[in-house]
Amino acid sequence: MTIFAACAALLMGLGLFGLITNPQPLRKIVAFNILGSGVFLLFGIVARRGAAAGVGADPVPQALVITGIVVAFAATAMAVALLLRLFADRGDTRLDHESAAGTEPARDDCRPP
């Protein structure tokens, strides 16, 4: 259990590092998922420590993590969809664009019908 507690802490550190340093948004999303899974693993430690009454792990944190994994997926899907739309409109996924007036590419779906 202590092994996985250390593992969870390191995973959170790793995910945070990738989130900060990687310039690609897709890689940031992946890093954020690693950070999140580290947090979930911490819940696993808390659940395992709460083993009592004949169950191997406290069921309440387990249920929270199951909900968390599904919500994390929903957020990831939303982030990926936003990223793909940005890519379709601009042809790249840079986040450091200078939003000067003239650099905006023409968008075909904002015209009035």
Partner 1 sequence: MTSALAFDLALAALVLAIATLTIAAREAMSAVISFIAYGLLLSLAWVRLRAPDVALTEAAIGAGVTGLLLLGAAATIGDRQAGAAPPLALMLAAGLACALVASGLAATTLVLLPEPAPTLAPPAMASLATTGLGNPVTAVLFVYRALDTLLEKVVLVLALLGVWSLAPDRVWGGVARLGPDAPPRAMLVFLAQLLPPVGMVIAIYMFWTGADHPGGAFQGGAILAAMWLIVLTARLADMPATSHPGLRLLVLAGPMLFAAIGFAGWALADAFLAYPEGYAKPLIILAEAGLTLSIAATLACLVAGPATRTPPP
- Window 49-78: residues binding partner 1 (CB under 8 A): 49-60, 62-67, 69-78
Distance, CA of 45 to CA of 1 (rounded, Å)? 7
Kindly report the three-state secondary structure assignment for every residue of 92-103: CCCCCCCCCCCC
Residue 104 interacting with partner 1 (CB under 8 A): no
Q: Choose which of 46, 99, 100, 104 interacts with partner 1 (CB under 8 A).
A: 46
Q: Choose which of 32, 81, 104, 106 interacts with partner 1 (CB under 8 A).
A: 81
Residue 11 interacting with partner 1 (CB under 8 A): yes
Residue 87 interacting with partner 1 (CB under 8 A): yes
Q: What is the DSSP string of 22-56?
A: ---HHHHHHHHHHHHHHHHHHHHHHHHHT-BTTBS
Distance, CA of 49 to CA of 45 (rounded, Å)? 6
Q: Choose which of 7, 99, 102, 106 interacts with partner 1 (CB under 8 A).
A: 7
| Contact characters 13-32, partner 1, x per CB under 8 A | xxxxxx-xxxxxxxx-xxx-
Residue 91 interacting with partner 1 (CB under 8 A): yes
Angle between helices 2-21 and 25-49 (to 10 degrees): 160
